Structure 1
Amino acid sequence: MTGRPRTFDKDAVLRMAMRAFWERGYDGVSVAQVCADAGIAAPSLYAAFGGKDALFEKACALYTAHLDEDLERDLSAPTAREAIERLLRSSAEHFTAPGQPPGCLVMGEPRLAARRERTRGMIQARLRRAAAEGELASAAEADGVAAFVDTVLTGMAALARDGADRPRLLDVARHAARAWPT
């Protein structure tokens, strides 16, 4: 026996769920709320996405797809200093983009610690390469700069979530860039 054909836009529901998780976090979102917001019945949501965990994973994959591209682009700059400056600026822009929740789903969601660690690892790898190429004094300095950049990014996401606007975050990015080792 086949069920009725799906009568909702799966991509639209996924975008709606992504936004809900971004705004309220995993624990602040229920399947019932997503269903009510989407105007669909729970069995339809479960059939399309699985349970809440699967919906969250798919929403996070949607969210992070373009972040990976942006991170790789920023970190591919010719120098590590330029890469970090680009990363800080593009993060400020992302955290305050019009039409989306402020801040960052990845930075704000406790369940995404592995994703944050992956991003930290990519930044650290770029800075260790800079140390190997002589742009930074040592791998230890690269690791310290990576931790500093991660801390600044986390703080910028929190500031955005608390209402800081783009000029404020770009100012933070400029000041952080001045801390580059000489």
Structure 2
Amino acid sequence: MAGRGRPRGFDADAALDRAMEVFWRRGYDGASLSDLTDAMGINRTSMYAAFGNKEELFRRAVARYTQAEMAYAREALTQPTAYSVIETFLRANADALTLADRPPGCLSVQGGLAEGGDNGRIAKFLAERRLAGEQALSARLTRAVEAGDLPAGTDPVALARYVMVVSEGNAVHAAAGADRASLHATVDIALRAVPAPEAGDTA
């Protein structure tokens, strides 16, 4: 039965948040079942009943991370110009990677860095999640090209990939101890590569 083994007052959302932080700090392979259940305050039976196996728990943790911790990425897409979309995303990303009350770096990057015994499923899952974000950015930049907000001939797919490479590189460096100012300095340089609209292209 779904509720068997759960402690009284079990808060699934709070438990998932704690599991997310363990995965964020240790990655999928580095997070043992004991690490997870200790952080969640439940036993293994409760974990399996509420969340399925470790892989399903991780997938749910990543979904929660994307919804809550990466809301800034969706908000950036609503900015009025391509430059402001990219700047808003990269600046907010640099801030998110270095929050004092969160693990450094990014769950979607760190979670699958180590090759484990799952035949690459976790790495593939995370790569697909990152690709979905890249495609959303590419679609927004495509509209910017069509509107003349980016010069004709700009490759929105390549530009979106470039932005994501910068953000993912910053995530790796943040996890290794780079501070916020260092990440923003990288963003400063990266923004110089964003093409400006040609004179007369926009109203």
Give the partner amino acid of 1:134. Answer: G
Higher helix share: 1
**What residue ranges of structure 1 are gaps of 5+ in the alignment?**
none
Is the CA contact (8 Å cut-off) linking 1:132 and 1:139 kept in structure 2? no
- CA contact 2:145–2:151 (8 Å) conserved in 1: yes
CA shift, 1:3, in A, is: 4.2
Q: For 1:4 and 1:58, locate their aligned partners in 2 and report how far apart those are by CA, in whole Å.
A: 20
- Please list every run of 5 or more consecutive structure 2 residues that lacks an aligned counterpart in the other structure: 113-121, 197-203
Alpha-carbon offset, residue 9 of structure 1: 3.2
Deviation at 1:10, TM superposition (A): 2.5
Question: AA paired with 1:104?
Answer: C
> How far did residue 57 of structure 1 move?
1.5
Change (3 A) 1:4 1:63: closer
Cα deviation, residue 139, structure 1: 5.7
Percent sequence identity is: 40
Give 1:115's aligned amino acid. R
Contact 1:20–1:29, Cα closer than 8 Å, also in 2:
yes
1:69 CA displacement? 3.1
Distance 1:3 1:87, change over 3 A: closer
Identify the range of structure 1 (126-135 vs 67-76) with the bigger mean alpha-carbon deviation: 67-76
Distance 2:130 2:31 in 1: 21
Which secondary structure does the structure 1 equivalent of 2:155 belong to? helix
Partner of 2:169: 155
User: Deviations along 1:87-140, whole A, 9 cap, x unmatched?
Assistant: 010000000011111111112233211100001001111111111111223465
Q: How many residues align?
A: 182
Q: 2:133 aligns with which of 96, 119, 126?
A: 119
What is the CA–CA distance in structure 1 between the aligned matches of 2:4 and 2:167, rounded to whole Å? 47
TM-score by length of 1: 0.90
- 2:97–2:174: 8 Å Cα contact kept in structure 1? yes
1:64 is aligned to: 66
SS at match of 1:25: helix
CA shift in 2, pair 1:162/1:5, >3 Å: closer
CA separation of 1:96 and 1:148: change in aligned 2, threshold 3 A: same
Distance 1:67 1:16 in 2: 14
What's the RMSD between the two structures over aligned residues?
2.0
CA drift at 1:156: 0.8
Residue correspondence of structure 1 range 127-142 to structure 2 within 5 A:
127-138=141-152, 140-142=154-156
Distance 2:26 2:40 in 1: 16
Q: 1:140 to 1:181 in 2, by over 3 A?
A: closer
Q: 1 CA distance for matches of 2:81 and 2:155? A: 16
* 2:191 paired residue number: 177
Q: Which moved more, 1:3-12 or 1:60-69?
A: 3-12
Q: What is the DSSP-based 3-state SS (H/G/I as helix, E as strand, rest coil) of the residue aligned with 1:159? A: helix
Contact 1:128 1:139 in 2 (8 A): no
Equivalent position SS for 1:134: coil
Q: Which of residues 77, 84, 100 is equivalent to 2:86? A: 84
Give the TM-score, by structure 2 length.
0.82
Letter in 2 for 1:27: D
